[in-house]
Structure 1
Amino acid sequence: MDPMRLFSFLLVISWSVNIIDASLGDADPNYRRCISQCQETGCIGPKCFPPCTFSSDGELVGRPWYTQEPLYLQWKKWDCQSDCRYHCMLDREKEKELLNIGPVKYHGKWPFKRIYGMQEPASVAFSALNLAMHFHGWVSFFILLYYKLPLKDGKKAYYEYAGLWHFYALLSLNSWFWSAVFHSRDVDLTEKLDYSSAVVLLGYSLILSILRSFNVRDEATRVMVSAPLIAFVVTHAMYLNFYKLDYGWNMIICVAMAVTQLTIWAVWAGFSHHPSRWKLWLVVIAGGLAMLLEIYDFPPYEGLLDAHALWHATTIPLTYIWWSFIRDDAKFRTTKFLNKAK
C-alpha cells in the first residue's frame, strides 16, 4: 500500500471528472480573443514567440523550431498553443489583479508560473522528494534484510514478503517519477503514464495488502490470489491507454480498490497485535487528515505553492513512517521465525 499516492490519485481523478477543458478562465472572452490573436500572429502585443513561426504563405510551420536545439534545451520549450495560453493567462491575471479580482482556473488548472519550463514547479519538487524518500526507504529495507538480520544458508532473507516489497518499491519509484513528469508538463502522454503507473501501483498494493494481512506464504496460493487482480488491472490500464481515458469509470475502479485495501489494513492492524501497528494507523489517519489540503483547494501562492503541492509535501514524512513500518515488520517476522526454530 502507498496511502499517500493513493489519496492523491483519488483526488486528482475526482477533479478530472468535472474538468474537461472548461473553467472560468478559459471561458473569458478576453482570454479567448488573446489566444486567437496569438495563434494567428505569433505575438501578444510586442511579445512574440519563436514556436509560432509561419511560412511565407501564412501556414504554421509543422516542425517546432526548438527541435533544432540540443536535447538538453528542448525539454524547457513549449509549442505555440501552450505558449499562447500561458502568456495570455498571465496577462489576464495581471489585469484582474489591478481590479482586485482573484485568480481563476484556466483549462482546469490554477495560473502557475513556470520555472525552467516546469508547469507546476512545487508539485514537481515534492514529487521528486517523495520519490527520493521511497528510494531511501527501499535502500534501508534492503540493508536491514541482507546486512543486519540473519540470513538463511542460501543467503536469502527469512522475511517471506521481501520480494513483494522490493517490487512494490520499484512500482512506487515509477509512479512518483511519472507524477513529477506529469506536473512538469501536462500533455496527453504524460497524463496517461501518470494515471497508468498510479493504477498499477494501486492494484499491486491491493494484492500486497491481501497477501500480508492474510499471511499468504505459499507461492501457488499467491499466484491464485494475484492472477485475477493482475489481469483486471492490466486490462483496465490498457482500456485507459488504448481505448478511452474515462475519468469517471477510472475513479470508480480506483475508489473500489482503495477502499478495499484500506479496510483490509485497518482490520488487520486492529486484530493482529503487530508491535508497530500504530505506525500503520498513523499513516492512514494522518493521510486522511492531509486530504483536507486537497479539499480546501486554493490558488497558488505567488503562482507556485498551492494546496496540491502542500499535500505532496505532507506525504514525504508519511512515506518515511510507512517504510519504517515495513522494516519493523521484517524484524518482527524474522524474530518470530527464529524463535520458533529454537
Structure 2
Amino acid sequence: MAPLLLLLLVGAAAASRGDREPVYRECVAGCQQMNCTGARLREFRAEQPLYMRLTGWACLDDCQYQCMWHTVSLYIKEGYPVPQFHGKWPFSRFLFFQEPASALASFLNCIANIWMLRRYRSTVPSSCPMYHTCLAFSMISINAWFWSTIFHTKDTAITEKMDYFCASSVILHSIYLCCMRTLGLRYPSLANVFGAVLVLLFACHVSYLTLGSFDYSYNMMANVSLDVHLLSVSISIHSHIPLNAVTLAAAENDCGQFVM
C-alpha cells in the first residue's frame, strides 16, 4: 500500500497541457469578451438551437470548443502531438453530444447491464449466498454507466466528478466481489472488514478530489493502483487460505449456475 499512500502526496494538477496553453487561454478570453456579453450574447442565445440550451450548452462552452480545435490545429501545423484539454482528448461534437461515440458506447453498456440484471434476478434465487453482493454490483455498474453517458454528453464539474467517482466505485466493488467469492462464504467477518476498508479508501479518494482542485493524473493513478494493490492482497490471502470447495459446491447446487 506504500505506493498508494505516496500518491496522496502528489500535488494537484488541475489542468491538462492543452488548456494550459496561452494561445488557448487567450482565445477563450477573447471569444468570451467578444461573443458572451451584451448584444452578441443575446444574438448567440437567439440563434442557439433549443436542444443545445436544454442540455446546458452556454456561450463559454462554445468558446472553449472552438478554441480547443484552434489550438489543436496549431499543434498539428507545428508537428506536435494532439494535447488533452481538461483531462480529455478532443472530440468532434454532434448535436448536443460532446463525445458522441463515447456517449453511445456508455449508453449501450448501461442497457446491457440492465438486461443482464433482469436476467440474473429471474434466474438466480435470492437465497443464493452471493445474490445480494452481485445485485449491488449490478446496481453500481448501471449507475456508473448512466453517469458515463451523461458525462460524455455534456462535461460539467458535476458530471465529471460523478463519472470518475462512479467508475472508482465499480473498481472497488469488483474487488469486494472477488473477496466475497473467495473468502466471504467461509470468513464473513473478514470480508466485512475488507469491505469497510474499501469504503474508507473510497471516501478518502472522493474527499481528496472534491476538497481540492481535481487532479486528473492522480485520479487515474489511484484507480490503477487500487486495482493492482487490492487485487494483489486478495490473491495473497487466497493463496494462504484456500477456498472451501464443499461450501462453494453446496452454494452452487442451491443457487444453480448463472451463465453470462
Say whether the 8 Å CA contact 2:72–2:83 is kept in structure 1.
Answer: no
The one-letter code sitting in structure 1 at the alignment partner of 2:98 is Q
The one-letter code sitting in structure 2 at the alignment partner of 1:130 is N
Question: Are 2:91 and 1:112 equivalent residues in the alignment?
Answer: yes
Deviations 1:105-156 (A, max 9, x none): 352544321112211110111111111221122222112114xxxxxxxxx4
Question: Are 2:38 and 1:54 equivalent residues in the alignment?
Answer: yes
Q: Distance in 2 between matches of 1:243 and 1:34?
A: 27
Say whether the 8 Å CA contact 1:114–1:120 is kept in structure 2.
Answer: yes
Where do residues 162-181 of structure 1 align in structure 2 (5 Å cutoff)? Answer: 162-181=131-150
The one-letter code sitting in structure 2 at the alignment partner of 1:21 is A
Q: Distance in 2 between matches of 1:40 and 1:165?
A: 52
Deviations 1:235-292 (A, max 9, x none): 33233223453445544543332014544469969x86x9xxxxxxxxxxxxxxxxxx
Q: Return closer, same or farther for 1:166/1:83 CA change in 2, 3 Å cut-off.
A: same
Q: How far is 1:73 from its partner? A: 5.5
Say whether the 8 Å CA contact 2:17–2:84 is kept in structure 1.
Answer: yes
Q: Distance in 1 between matches of 2:209 and 2:71?
A: 35
Q: Which residue of 2 aligns with 1:184?
A: 153
Q: Which residue of 2 aligns with 1:200?
A: 169
Say whether the 8 Å CA contact 2:176–2:195 is kept in structure 1.
Answer: yes
Deviations 1:199-229 (A, max 9, x none): 2222222222112112435655543332233
Q: How far is 1:192 from its partner? A: 1.2
Q: Percent identity?
A: 27
The one-letter code sitting in structure 1 at the alignment partner of 2:228 is V
Question: Are 2:1 and 1:23 equivalent residues in the alignment?
Answer: no
The one-letter code sitting in structure 2 at the alignment partner of 1:86 is Y
Q: Return closer, same or farther for 1:207/1:248 CA change in 2, 3 Å cut-off.
A: same
Deviations 1:285-319 (A, max 9, x none): xxxxxxxxxxxxxxxxxxxxxxxxxxxxxxxxxxx
Where do residues 43-82 of structure 1 align in structure 2 (5 Å cutoff)? Answer: 52-54=36-38, 74-82=53-61
The one-letter code sitting in structure 1 at the alignment partner of 2:170 is L
Question: Are 2:18 and 1:40 equivalent residues in the alignment?
Answer: no
Question: Are 2:108 and 1:129 equivalent residues in the alignment?
Answer: yes
Say whether the 8 Å CA contact 2:98–2:153 is kept in structure 1.
Answer: yes
Q: Distance in 1 between matches of 2:225 and 2:130?
A: 24
Say whether the 8 Å CA contact 1:175–1:197 is kept in structure 2.
Answer: yes
Q: Return closer, same or farther for 1:187/1:229 CA change in 2, 3 Å cut-off.
A: same
Q: Distance in 1 between matches of 2:112 and 2:20?
A: 37
- Per the normalisation by structure 2, the TM-score is 0.70
Say whether the 8 Å CA contact 2:91–2:99 is kept in structure 1.
Answer: yes
Gaps of 5+ in 2: 1-10
Local SS of the residue matching 2:31: helix
Q: Which residue of 1 aligns with 2:210?
A: 241
The one-letter code sitting in structure 2 at the alignment partner of 1:334 is E
The one-letter code sitting in structure 2 at the alignment partner of 1:134 is N
Q: Distance in 2 between matches of 1:106 and 1:227?
A: 36
Task: State the aligned residue count.
Answer: 239
Say whether the 8 Å CA contact 1:206–1:260 is kept in structure 2.
Answer: no
Q: Distance in 2 between matches of 1:207 and 1:54?
A: 54
Q: Distance in 2 between matches of 1:197 and 1:103?
A: 30
Say whether the 8 Å CA contact 1:120–1:184 is kept in structure 2.
Answer: yes
RMSD after superposition: 4.1
Gaps of 5+ in 1: 1-16, 43-51, 147-155, 275-329
The one-letter code sitting in structure 1 at the alignment partner of 2:203 is V
The one-letter code sitting in structure 1 at the alignment partner of 2:34 is T
Q: Return closer, same or farther for 1:122/1:266 CA change in 2, 3 Å cut-off.
A: farther
Alignment counterpart, residue 335 of structure 1, candidates 236, 253, 258: 253
